[in-house]
Structure 1
Amino acid sequence: MKIILMFVSSLDGKITKDDDPEVTHWSSKEDQALFSRIKNKSSLLVMGRKTYEAAHIQLKPGILRIVLTHNPQKGVPGILEFTDETPRELVNRLKNKYKQMLLLGGSDIATQFFKEKLIDEVWLTIEPEIFGKGTPIVTDESPNVSLKLISLRRLNPHGTLHVRYEVIERS
């Protein structure tokens, strides 16, 4: 199963602006449209609790959403699961059922998956904004990871970029 980490960030690597977890308050309409298209083509979405609460993701049959949390609650069978499994346990459970996992964050979840050397690709939209304050893409506990550029696409005249990287070395 290919695991793809997908984020939108500011130029200085923040996935939130100050304390506002709502990405749609600052991300471009082009990124939001791209995210929606990719998300709707995916059959497996994995995210942390904060991302789930901020994202307002609509539940649709055929797309399993899994929320990693310390306090699992009852979900909707086949559509929404809450789990306290480790990233490795989750991947082992799902690897024979799905071809691809789209990992939506946040930074704690991204760091956990990087630590376990589970991420194959990083898809990142970079908005031409500098926030200073905000949540970083990964936490200070993240290991060093080397990436190789797969593609680069300009999304709008303002300079919003969508880049795709392959993870080539995980330390």
Structure 2
Amino acid sequence: MEVTLLMAMTVDGKIAKNPDHFPDWTGPDDKKFFAERTRQAGVVIMGARTFQTLKKPLPDRLNVVMTRDDSRTSSWNNVVFTTDPPRRILTWLESLGYREVILAGGAIINSLFAAEGLIDRLIVTVSPKVFGSGISLFNGQVSMALALEGVKIIGQDVVVLSYRVVGHPKI
């Protein structure tokens, strides 16, 4: 099971201004890229706060929402709320036939997967914005060694950086 962390971030490395910041700051090229990659994988894993900012599920793919609230249920057929840890979620998704999952944040969920060494690839789209302060890609200390796989410009102003995780050195 390949786990790809796919996130948009600002030039100064922020994924949002605050936990409730709606992701409307990225441009249409980034949104199109995100939609294509997540549809290709067929499944997106995110935290409850990230899901809450979206207001509705991402169509045409399974939305797996990690939550601490085990009473949450979904009225959508493509949304699953789970309190399971990352490894158990991946085992379940693999049993359903998925070969790749997109990890779409936020920082806490990204960090949970990173702490267990479960992220295989990072793809970040760098948008021409600066927030100055806000939420980083990860929450807390994370250590990964990366190998650059590719750099691509989409649209006029967005750079896509693709990295393969090659190790998890001690911090």
TM (normalized to structure 2)?
Answer: 0.89
- State the alpha-carbon separation in 1 of the partners of residues 55 and 104 from structure 2: 13
Deviation at 1:57, TM superposition (A): 4.3
Structure 1 CA distance, aligned partners of 2:128 and 2:150?
Answer: 18
**How far does residue 40 in structure 1 lie from its aligned partner after superposition?**
2.5
Match of 1:2 in 2: 2
Matched with 2:130 is 130
Q: Which runs of 5+ in 2 are unaligned?
A: none
**Structure 2 residue aligned with 1:166:** 164
Deviation of 1:93 after TM superposition, in Å, equals 2.2
User: Mapping of 1:18-97 within 5 angstroms?
Assistant: 18=18, 21-24=21-24, 26-58=25-57, 60=59, 63-72=61-70, 73-76=72-75, 79-96=78-95, 97=97
Contact residue 18 and residue 131 of structure 1 kept, 8 A? no
Q: Deviations over 1:11-62 (max 9, x none)?
A: 11100035652111x212211111122222231111000111112444546x
Q: Is the 8 A contact 2:41 2:98 kept in 1?
A: no
Supply the distance in 2 between the matched residues of 1:59 and 1:156 (Cα, whole angstroms): 23
Name the CA distance, whole Å, in 1 between partners of 2:56 and 2:74. 14
Q: 2 CA distance for matches of 1:145 and 1:18?
A: 25
Q: Check conservation: 2:64, 2:79, Cα contact below 8 A.
A: yes
CA distance in 1 between counterparts of 2:56 and 2:7 reads 15
SS of the equivalent of 2:145 reads strand
Structure 2 vs 1, CA of residues 123 and 37 (structure 1 numbering), >3 Å: closer, same or farther?
Answer: same
Tell me the equivalent position of 1:149: 148
Aligned residues: 167
Task: Give TM-score scaled by structure 1 length.
Answer: 0.89
